[in-house]
Amino acid sequence: MSSLAEIQQAFGDALRYQGEDSLCQVVSDHFSDSQRLQIYRNNFVIGVSDVLVATYPLAQALVGEECFAQLARHHVLSTPPQSGDITEYGEGFDEVVKHFPAVVEAAPYLANMIQYEWHKDALMRAEPKPVTTEQYPLAALSAIPEHQHAELVFHLLPDIVLLNFDYQVLTLEQAIINNQLDGLNIAQPEFAVLQKINNHTLEPHIVTSKVFQLLQAFQAQQMLADIDPTLLAHLNDVLALNIISGFSISGE
């Protein structure tokens, strides 16, 4: 007789078409064990696919319900949930697109949109992050002597994500919301910052390549002396985003 763990493993494999139906010890009545297991499979795929629909509404809107359902089914069967809690399921869904060449040709930006929506979902679910570095408020900058300016280190707010895509998916998102898709050309890179405000609202900021590189330097906690001066020329643009939590002085 198989152990409970072996039966559970066999059942999970069979749900993903990776095992023998007969090993699951499904009780048959007027349905065969294979027919009854197929019902379980359908319910499993539909239930988990609903999570993907909730996480990736823009992706579904771009390709339509039927196409999205096929993408979701492939992902569910190839990368099933690893626990009973599926509220955080869906990471890596963008990799599925590569297995559908026709979808890639019709919507080459889809994988980027999926990545963007995953970042949004993950940031909303994340617990607030505390500021871990001792910092001065920006208002104290005027009190720092000039000879120490090169040693300044600016710190970004903890609840932000830097985004870099091959296609302008944030621009596409706004076009979808505003129903202004005519003449839209998104076949160029896009740089952005996604910020969580008051733990319940997401605010995207589309930025230039130079501003993005400066933000990356700040995120890496580089002091001003180590940052390309051509990037520092965009410091005011960064300050205008209101995503700097404060500054410190290297070596203190």
pLDDT digits (tens, 9 = 90+) for 34-49: 555 555 666 777 788 9
Same structural domain for residues 134 and 224? yes
pLDDT of the residue at 22: 43
Distance, in Å, from the CA atom of 143 to the CA atom of 199, rounded to the nearest integer, reads: 32
Same structural domain for residues 121 and 135? no
Identify which of 159, 153, 151 has the alpha carbon closest to the alpha carbon of residue 136.
153
For the segment 14-34, the average pLDDT, to the nearest whole number, is 47
Distance, in Å, from the CA atom of 198 to the CA atom of 201, rounded to the nearest integer, reads: 7
Indicate the pLDDT class of residue 171, thresholds 50, 70 and 90.
very high
Same structural domain for residues 69 and 141? no
Same structural domain for residues 28 and 114? yes
| 3-state class (DSSP) for residue 82 | coil
Instruction: Among 81, 105, 125, give the residue marking a domain's end.
Output: 125
Same structural domain for residues 45 and 160? no
Same structural domain for residues 137 and 231? yes
Domain containing residue 66: 1-125
Same structural domain for residues 142 and 181? yes
Instruction: Among 73, 107, 125, give the residue marking a domain's end.
Output: 125
Same structural domain for residues 136 and 252? yes
Report yes or no on whether pTM surpasses 0.75. Answer: yes
Number of domains in the chain: 2
Q: Of the spans 73-87, 109-123, 238-252, which averages the highest pLDDT?
A: 109-123
